[in-house]
Structure formats: structure tokens, C-alpha cells
Structure 1
């Protein structure tokens, strides 16, 4: 084979040398006209089609290898060549996208064509866009620069935490990769933005925080928020599952909740503590005729993540650095504090690891229910302690 022209295979593409930093090299396939791969000094390999159209050279970007497999790249190259044969220039459409699309237009297509059909966490994607990108929504894609997005990442990290900033960059990376796949002829502007280092989070409600937390929760005027937080704590379920809980999934007589699909792709039958059953029965009287336990006038039809109200609640309780997801971790942590074994905790929280799957499969709901009851009562005892202390203070006045 010549130095830069040979019959592509995945193995050969993987072994291609990386040029010096700042340089770019091109290699071309001998099987499909115009199909090539461009390699940057960072080692990024991108499939292209290089052809002359109306006597002008054009490079049409197809996607990155190995995210785009070789067979798919060849199929796309055939389509590009067919369009050129019809007198079309595939880059014309891509230029229109680059010139006309706003971030909002791209994100709406991302949600419609990719996130909602394929991602269980699509509501979180939508929430992140609404929370952090409102000032950017009318920006055209051609105006988005890496340095501005880097500054955004830094600001979100300072104001909302490293985890939130990193998740936003991950979302934007996915959105821009889809734009490239759909014809945006540009580099992904967040590819080289370095994320903040993260440590595994171990935060949960501590014993000294529980009385203040329960007091603030009992005095919360928003009953939807109050019930949502209680059920999040009492079930240990993931935030998205609690928000989207449906009445058809709940069996109040048998005291369990059949979650049809969780984050790890499996269903989960979760025991309901008496306190949770009482909350659900009360909500059933109010909202039982609707599909969702927490109905709302929103796109999804149910309550959405209450970040602002949650922050106000924590302020009243004088608690810092506690996230809604930490309610889930709190139940598991209190199970550990009260002596539950790791397999039962995993079953409660529906964790799924290769090492523990076989053990989980042999567990029924009885030990899980028992461990949840013990952990729940251990947490709730601090509510009773707080109430008893308040009564004693009143009697001494």
C-alpha cells in the first residue's frame, strides 16, 4: 500500500501513527471513493469524504472513529457520493446548520430524536438546560467558543458544585456530537474542556441533622414537595422514579411499589413502609384519578425536580451540602448503621453489580422490608426526640 492510501480495516486504523501536536494527517480508503480519515495531534480520528464539487475541493465530515464503525462510514460515504452524482453539495446543508441553528433548536432536536427515545435520564437533561443554559439558548452554534464554555464550566462549578458543572459539560458534549452526526461541520467545542476531579460522595443525613430536617419538613407549606421528600427518604428510590411514580405501580394493600424500569434497566419491587403507605393513601384521596402520584402542569405531566424549594428547606433546617439524591443514600447508610448486610442494602437500592447479582437474586422482600423498617424507625426516632424536647421546653416555661 502507499503511505496514505490503503484498504481500511479497524485494526489498521487503530494502529495509524499520531502526528505531531498541531498537525493533521489524512489517509484514504481504496474501496470507497473519497473516504478518508483525518488524524489530529491529539490522536482523534475522524472519517471524512474528500471530493471536488464544481471544481472546488470539499471535505464532508462523517463522524469519529471508532464511535462511527468502518462499515457505517463506508455506507455514509456511498450516500455522499450518490448526492454528489445528483449534483448536490452535502456541505451546503451543513453550512446552513452552522449558520442558522441556535442552541435551543439543536437541543430541541436532541431531545426529540435522541434523548427521549433512548435515555431514561432525559428529564435531567431537560432540567440542566433550563437551569444553566437560559442565557445561551438564542446563541447560534457558530458563535459558541471553547473559551466561553470553559468559563461557563468554571462558573457552574463555583456556584453549584463540581459535580453539576461536570454533568453539564457531559451533556453539552453529547449534544454537540449529535450535531456533528446530523451535519454540523465543526469541531465539538467542549471536547478538550478538562472536568473537575470528583470524589465518591458519601453524604447522608447525620443523626444531629435529622431533628432539624424533620422539623423543617413538617412545617413545609408545599404539600407536594413535602410528600415527595418523605417518599424519597422512606423508599430510597432514585429521584426520577419517585417523580414519575404512577398509581398503577402502587399496591397499597400489599404495601409495595413495582417500579417498571430503573436506571440500571431492571424492574424493582420495593417494600413500602407504613409511613409511606399513609402518605400515598392521603395523596390517593386527592389525586387518585390522575395517572401520576405527583401530577403537575408540565411537559412530562408530573412534578419536576424542586431544586429551589429544596434549597429553601435546607436553609430553614440549617443543613449544608445535602442533595436530593442524598436522601436515597441516607436510607442505605442508616440500614448499614442499624446492622443490615451489604446484600440487603444493595437489594433495597437496586444496585446491580456482577459480583452481587447472584446474591440479590436469592433475596426475597422479607429481609429487605425488615432492614428498611429498622432503618426508618432509627431515623424517625430523631423526629420523636425532637418533638419530646419541644414539649419539655414548653412545660418548663
Structure 2
């Protein structure tokens, strides 16, 4: 530890040329602290404490009051040149009438992006988005580490553009979804008065996406059904069977409740779908039979219960990967089951309006036609498509009886 010496007191002797050598050789006061000023940059000083600690600061008067702004400490990675550059920047801020010390204090109290995302979840996503859990997962996987701890004013368009490019090298569609999520978070923050700045996502060009038309072919369906019948987890197996044979969105199937089902009439009422409208789904006989068996053994509010806080199955990706591997199916996503129902309806002669209503597509050009359709032709089209899909198997359609109710 440096030996304590009596500090030099005269103003003139406390002006020194800041170098590594001159700073290292500064005497440590017996008590209190002493400040030494740089001869090259006005108002830049180094404060030496009796403990031996040294701190670079800028000391100025602002609107009749003394203001000190801490820059850093020797040995923290800052070179003397970097300290001087920061001091010059701070001098320029003062000259422009600003107070950098107040700006620093405001930044310390400013929300981080983690804070803002929590507000977004509670005030918007959980109330208005069926896919809010997917937003939460995307945030944890792609956004939390690079942006979560940053103060909002410190997040720049370049930060977001760099993240977009980094993800987009291999997964352009995912990169676009992440960009859209960040933009939505900032957009809601502006709407709720939580952020007074601009949306830093504005002007970032999204990647061109190819329209996805993947659905399961006849041979793939045969292998898919075989893999389902061998799947040991009944909840996983039944979930994917229902997702395929109803053509419903994944989030709606995950949240399916017994109270919304009328198995006598063969209908399922979805109060809120992704496009904001309710939907009545026609249940084909195979689904009705499967659900009757589940109802005998499932006591949960939900058809596909889970152990988490939601009470229902949340993320079936592991089960999907397991089934696709067993079936030898590559490049398929869970959403492709919905597309498969629509495609097989088309292949078995259903009209576009009927397909649109069965999948609850919201299209201004066909809304009037959908309104005039009752459920009978939709049910007929879905049953024909379901029969055609299930006929790809080598044996008669059957429902494997549940052995136990499980999770993912």
C-alpha cells in the first residue's frame, strides 16, 4: 500500500499533466481527500482519498451551483486519453446548457428493457394475445441477454439492427419475429406513456420471407399416425391428433376447456381466436370419440392439463420433435398440421369459403360469404378431409385408449 504523505496544498502545485506516472506518484493524504487538476483539459481533476482510492471527475459550476461528474478510476480500463476525451465531451454538454450529472441520475432511475418487457406482458400481451407465452419464450431466448439490462435510452437502432442481422444469418423468419416483438414492446411503452422517446426499430428493413405451404403428404400422414399410436405420452399424442383433425390454432388447442365442448352436438366453441373473432369448430367423429375417452379420465378444467401455473399444456415442441423423429418427417412445424387440414379439404373438393370458415380465416373479400354458411357443409368438408387423411394408414381408424394423463 502507498505510504501516506502530507499532500501538496498550493493551487499551482496541484495542477499537473495527467500521465500514468504522475498519477501513480501522487501522495496519499493522511485524512480526507485532495484534488489535482489536469493542465490540458479545463475542469478535469483526479481526487485522491486517504484510503488510496483515486477518481477522475469533471468539476464545474452550472446555474450558480457546483457540479461534479464522475468519469472513472485509474486501472478500470480507461486510458488517460479516454478520460480527457470524456471530459471534453462533458465540457461541451455544459457549454450547451445541459447538466450531465442530472442526466446520469435520470439514467440510473430509468427502466431497463427487462422492466419494460414485464410491463408489456402484464398490460398488453396477457390481456390481448393468445400467444403471449411464445413472446415470453422468444424474449428469454433471443432478447434478454443482449438488451435486457440496458437502460431504454441506451438502446440504439444499431443495437437492434445488429441483433436482427445476427439472428437473420441463419433464421431470417425468426429475426423478423424478434424485430416485430421489440418494436411492439416500444410501441406499447409509447402508448402507455412509459417511454417518451422514439421507437428504435423504425427504419430497420425486414428480411424477405417466402410464403410457407408445407403440409403433410399422404405417405407422411401414414407415418405420422403410426408414430402417434406408438407415442407413450397420452396427452402429447391426443393433443397432436386434435390439432390435426380440427385444424385449430395451437394456442386454442392448448387452452381447450371441457366447458367449451358439446360432444353431443360435436362442436367446440372458441370464445377468442388470434384474429379477434369467436369460432365454432365442427368436431369430426374421431375427435369426439377421443375426447369422450379423455373426459372419463381427466378431471382438470383443461382437456390437455399441464403442471405449470397456467394449468394446461404450454409448449409441446419436445413431443413434436419426438413424433416427427419416429415418423421420419423432416422440416414440419406444429402449425403445418393446421395447413394440412385446409390442404386436404381442398384436395377432397371443399370450396374456399368452406375451408376459410373451418379454419376461421379472416378475409374481407369472403366475410359476407362466411356469414351465410351454416356448420353443416363445413362439418361435411372436415369429415371428408379427416377420413381421407386417416385412410392413409394401413388399418382402420381407431383411438388408442388412454393409459394415464400426463404432461409434455
* Range class of TM-score, shorter chain: 0.5 to 0.7
2:116 counterpart residue number: 106
| 1:238-317 mapped onto 2 (5 Å cutoff) | 238-287=249-298, 289-317=299-327
Cα deviation, residue 298, structure 1:
2.5
Cα deviation, residue 184, structure 1:
3.6
1:29-75 CA distances to partner (integer Å, 9 max, x unpaired)?
Answer: xxxxxxxxxxxxxxxxxxxxxxxx9899xxxxxxxxxxxxxxxxxxx
1:34 counterpart residue number: none
370, 379, 389: which one aligns with 1:369: 379
C-alpha distance in structure 2 between counterparts of 1:237 and 1:114, whole Å: 24
Partner SS for 1:178: helix
2:245 counterpart residue number: 234
Cα deviation, residue 274, structure 1:
1.5
| 1:91-240 mapped onto 2 (5 Å cutoff) | 96=106, 100-136=110-146, 138-142=148-152, 144-159=155-170, 161-181=171-191, 182-184=193-195, 186-240=197-251
Partner SS for 1:331: helix
2:86 counterpart residue number: none
Note if contact 2:129-2:274 (Cα within 8 Å) is conserved in structure 1.
no
Cα deviation, residue 95, structure 1:
6.6
Note if contact 1:98-1:185 (Cα within 8 Å) is conserved in structure 2.
no
1:64-96 CA distances to partner (integer Å, 9 max, x unpaired)?
Answer: xxxxxxxxxxxxxxxxxxxxxxxxx9xx79974
C-alpha distance in structure 1 between counterparts of 2:181 and 2:206, whole Å: 12
TM-score, reference length from structure 2: 0.66
1:61 counterpart residue number: none
2:348 counterpart residue number: 338
CA RMSD, Structure 1 to Structure 2 (Å): 3.1
The gaps in structure 2 that reach 5 residues or longer are: 1-61, 66-98, 398-408
Partner SS for 2:269: strand
Is 258-267 or 330-339 further displaced after alignment? 258-267
Cα deviation, residue 245, structure 1:
0.8
Q: Structure 1 or 2: larger helix share?
A: 1
Partner SS for 1:208: helix
Rg bigger for which structure? Answer: 2
Distance 1:213 1:100, change over 3 A: same
Partner SS for 2:268: strand
1:126-163 CA distances to partner (integer Å, 9 max, x unpaired)?
Answer: 2322443353475223554544433433343455x332
Note if contact 1:232-1:242 (Cα within 8 Å) is conserved in structure 2.
yes
Note if contact 1:98-1:184 (Cα within 8 Å) is conserved in structure 2.
no
The gaps in structure 1 that reach 5 residues or longer are: 1-52, 57-88, 388-397
368, 373, 379: which one aligns with 2:389: 379
Partner SS for 2:281: strand
Cα deviation, residue 315, structure 1:
2.7
C-alpha distance in structure 1 between counterparts of 2:288 and 2:107, whole Å: 52
C-alpha distance in structure 1 between counterparts of 2:210 and 2:367, whole Å: 25
Larger RCO: 1 or 2 (CA < 8 Å, sep 6+): 2
